[in-house]
Amino acid sequence: MFEGRPDRGAEIVFVGRSNVGKSTLMREFTGHTFTTGKKPGVTRSPNHYDWAGADFTFTDLPGFGFMEGVDEEAREAIKDDIVRYIEDHSEEILVGVLVVDGKAVIDIIDRHESRGEIPHDVEMFHFLREVGIPTVVAVNKMDKVEERDDRLDALCDRLGLPGPWQQWRDTIAPISAKRGQTAPLREALETQLREQHRDDLLQFI
């Protein structure tokens, strides 16, 4: 069970598979360097970043799914902890940011579905929404993707959102965290916060 959450009443969480760039994205938003690495599964407990005097925190949850050198039992335990954390703090979580690898996500989803499995990314997207958390999908590494619109339309299809993707700009945000290209995500988060009358938090976005 994760421990050490700051005593904050408002939170934005970043969740996604290992090695999709969540920690890099957190650095873009906070200016603070978090532990990152090429080896999946470096982040095993949440990274929180909060501000003195502000009732708000960003949280980078551990990566889920396949991790080289991590057995299935440990992977399932991490995923269970992530689900429990989100359930326990659903009232405080204003937005859930599901980070996916724009280059690989369609192949990963299709591979799982061809085996009769529910893909983790799809499952997490619907879980966040089912517990009442507004969800933005940050489609990272888009600088490596050709035919961007086709790829984003395909992702919407897999998530059950009728295309074209452009009508979901408050939900689908194509970005490249490593290159600092995060404007679509910032705009989507601003929209979500304004809808919840939390303009006081826009300064952190």
Cα 174 to Cα 4: distance, rounded to the nearest angstrom: 31
Residue 73: inside a domain, yes or no? yes
Residue 90: inside a domain, yes or no? yes
Residue 5: inside a domain, yes or no? no
pLDDT at 126: 97
Pairwise pLDDT comparison (99 vs 68), residue with the higher score: 99
Residue 2: inside a domain, yes or no? no
Mean pLDDT score across all residues of the chain: 91
84: domain CATH number is 3.40.50.300
pLDDT at 160: 97
Residue 3: inside a domain, yes or no? no
Convert the pLDDT of each residue in 135-192 to its tens digit: 999 999 999 999 999 999 999 999 999 989 999 999 999 999 999 999 999 999 999 9
| Residue 43, pLDDT above cutoff 80 | no
Orientation angle between helical segments 120-130 and 72-88, nearest 10 degrees: 20
pLDDT-wise least confident of 34-38, 114-118, 154-158, 178-182:
34-38
Q: How many residues would you count in the chain?
A: 205
- Structural domain of 154: 11-197
Residue 58: inside a domain, yes or no? yes
CB 160 within 8 A of CB 172: no
Per-residue confidence band for 40, with pLDDT thresholds at 50, 70 and 90:
very low
Q: Using CB atoms within 10 Å of the CB of residue 14, give its burial: 0 to 12 exposed, 13 to 18 middle, 19+ buried.
A: buried
Pairwise pLDDT comparison (44 vs 130), residue with the higher score: 130
CB 76 within 8 A of CB 66: no
Q: How many domains does the chain have?
A: 1
Provide DSSP, 112-133: HHHTT---HHHHHHHHHHHTT-
Residue 30: inside a domain, yes or no? yes
| Residue 38, pLDDT above cutoff 50 | no
pLDDT at 116: 95
Query: Whole-model pTM?
Result: 0.92
Convert the pLDDT of each residue in 4-24 to its tens digit: 788 999 999 999 998 899 989
Residue 4: inside a domain, yes or no? no
Q: What percent of the chain has pLDDT over 90?
A: 74
Cα 93 to Cα 14: distance, rounded to the nearest angstrom: 11
